[in-house]
Amino acid sequence: MLLLFAFVSAGLANQVNAAAVSAKASSFAGSTSTFQFPPADITATASLIDSLFPDASEVGFAGPTPTGDEAESVATAPAMAPVKGYFPLVRPETSDNKGESFDVVKSWANLSPMQSVKSFGLDNATEQIPEGCKINQVFLLHRHGARYPTDGSDPAAFAADVHSAAGNGTFVATGPLEFLNTWTYKLGAELLTPFGREQLFNLGVGFRVKYGDLLKNFTGLPVWRTTSEARMVDSALHFAAGFFGVQSYQSSYHQLIEIEEEEFNSTLAPWNVCPNANNDIWALGDDATDAWNNVYLADAQKRFAQYLPGFNLTIQDVAGMQALCPYETVALGYSAFCDLFTEEEWKGFAYGVDLNFWYGDGPGNPAVSAQGIGWVQELVSRLTQTRLTTFDTTLNGTIVGNNATFPLDQPIYVDASHDTVISAVLPAMNFSFLAAGGPLPLDHIPENQTYIVQKISPFASRLVGQVLSCPASDTPTHIRWLLNDGVLPQSGIQGCGYDPNGLCEFDTFVAGMKQRIEEVDFVFDCYANYSLSLDNDTITNGQYPQ
């Protein structure tokens, strides 16, 4: 791997190597490079020879095909294998501390690949079902897999700035940034990357191994949900292919696709019917990140500017350069931007995302619990098998009012959604442990930080609810929740209290969720004309103080 050193000795700090200055930037530096496969002209004629490639069912000769019994490793295995790798991505390094002691990937926050969380304060609780208990039902709310940047984000803006300067003949990069002279922007927008597809396929396989035995309790085909965005549908289908197998998944379940668009109700994309999720109230998160960027990226801006003579390198440009590291890595397998930054700067990157979520999509934003409460209403409906009849939040009455599209008797529920939905559902359910260290300061990283986005909403993150009977029976007695394989304390939920295994009595939990539904004022928090600034934002439950 090329070692890109960002520091020079004090005596040479303001000098630029003469040979490097003479390097000429290509006119295409920073330009967008794309490729589509299969090519359009091939797909137009492919059907003409399809008869030469019959399906396996037509070929026959499949050999023996006896099936085995279903797995239920959460109940049978003495320990679960944690998710802790990210093959085939190349492990990035830092500019100042190369080696195994610091994993840059864990500082990518919501852009990190999901890795198992060991503990959320319940050190002895594990993913395995507690001894003497039986798994009766399971809920999965998961995020899509790794994707390209959202449209118009900082990485694309930085590439456009580089390309514009190169086209004007004013861009020449030197030293550790010399690679920019021939660098092109190869990222699309918002679609899943190949690695993202792998993540969701693996999640489906893992969920089948852990909870497959519950399939025996279905009386019809499962109905699982996602939204209409391309990466959401792609994620849901790859999960299903991993869970059911590529030859049978299309006939093994029903995929409900909810429209994700402005003014369409969906608990899996709730911001579309919450005005305060799209205005200055939501922008508090961006404001917090911008303030922090000016603190932790100031040195990097000065360091890189000496290698880009004549280029007006802004803090936003540097933020785009740093974000290119995770985005290029999860899309292309490797990024030359990664080891330009120091260990402290990577910690700063993670904290900038933590701030963005806390104040924009988490416990510090007054309209967040309102966005998550619709999914909580659906959860209570499913747990109690009670049909919803009032639709005054983000609920889609057409969907949840129909037993075909919203069945109430499934042993396995799967909802595919976004990072910001998971981060909204958690305060809506009042998992207060995650907010115990907040609010987050804008000028330094606190020592006892409990709100860490890398543990909450990384790519392919998952929130799992295990409905249990303790002792084992067919009647649920307890429920507990796991976030990225770590058991969550439920002490913030009314009546649940502390339990070493994270358990709460089933009826108590349902009552606690009904109380939260009453406490969250959806109409006010989403529609009221109120103001809030970072200077006086002390919210920790995702609700406007009444």
Where do the domains of the chain lie, and which CATH numbers do they carry? 1-8+69-546 (3.40.50.1240)
**pLDDT over 90 at 530, yes or no:** yes
Q: What is the pLDDT of residue 147?
A: 98
Task: Round the average pLDDT of the chain to a whole number and report it.
Answer: 92
| 514 neighbors 380 (Cβ within 8 angstroms) | yes
More confident residue, 397 or 47: 397
pLDDT band at 309 (very low <50, low <70, confident <90, very high): very high
pLDDT tens, position by position, 474-501 = 999 999 999 999 999 999 999 999 999 9
Q: What is the pLDDT of residue 546?
A: 79
Count of other CB atoms within 10 angstroms of residue 350: 22
Q: How far apart are CA 80 and CA 485, in angstroms?
A: 9
Q: How far apart are CA 107 and CA 110, in angstroms?
A: 9
Nearest to 530 by CA among 274, 271, 280, 362: 280
**Percent of the chain at pLDDT above 90?**
85
Q: How far apart are CA 1 and CA 310, in angstroms?
A: 29
**pLDDT over 70 at 226, yes or no:** yes
**pLDDT over 60 at 244, yes or no:** yes
| 174 neighbors 17 (Cβ within 8 angstroms) | yes
Side-chain-facing half-sphere of 60: CA atoms under 13 Å: 0
pLDDT band at 14 (very low <50, low <70, confident <90, very high): very low
Q: What is the pLDDT of residue 403?
A: 97
Burial zone of 77 (CB within 10 Å; 0-12 exposed, 13-18 middle, 19+ buried): middle
pLDDT band at 26 (very low <50, low <70, confident <90, very high): confident
pLDDT tens, position by position, 60-112 = 999 998 989 999 999 999 999 999 999 999 999 898 876 678 999 999 999 99
| 79 neighbors 422 (Cβ within 8 angstroms) | no
Q: How far apart are CA 402 and CA 406, in angstroms?
A: 6
Q: HEC string of 379-437?
A: HHHHHHCCCCCCCCCCCCHHHHCCCCCCCCCCCEEEEEECHHHHHHHHHHHCCHHHHCC
Q: Which of 13-27, 316-330, 500-514 has the lowest mean pLDDT?
A: 13-27
In order, the DSSP letters of 97-118 are --SSS--GGGGSGGGSBP----
What's the mean pLDDT in 294-306? Answer: 98
What's the mean pLDDT in 124-142? Answer: 97
Q: What are the distances in angstroms from CA 302 to CA 23, 29, 116, 297, 346? A: 21, 22, 37, 9, 17
Nearest to 404 by CA among 215, 254, 251: 254
What's the mean pLDDT in 224-231? Answer: 98
**pLDDT over 50 at 127, yes or no:** yes
- Phi/psi at 315 (nearest 5 deg)? -60, -40
- For the whole model, what pTM was predicted? 0.93
Q: How far apart are CA 479 and CA 374, in angstroms?
A: 20
Q: How far apart are CA 423 and CA 222, in angstroms?
A: 26
Q: How far apart are CA 221 and CA 251, in angstroms?
A: 9
**pLDDT over 70 at 23, yes or no:** no
Q: Which residue has the tokens 């919803």?
A: 388
| 172 neighbors 25 (Cβ within 8 angstroms) | yes
| 229 neighbors 198 (Cβ within 8 angstroms) | no
| 490 neighbors 448 (Cβ within 8 angstroms) | no
Count of other CB atoms within 10 angstroms of residue 93: 20
pLDDT tens, position by position, 404-452 = 999 999 999 999 999 999 999 999 999 999 999 989 999 999 999 999 9
Q: How far apart are CA 280 and CA 447, in angstroms?
A: 29
Torsion of CA 373, 377, 380, 382, to 10 degrees: -130
What's the mean pLDDT in 225-232? Answer: 98
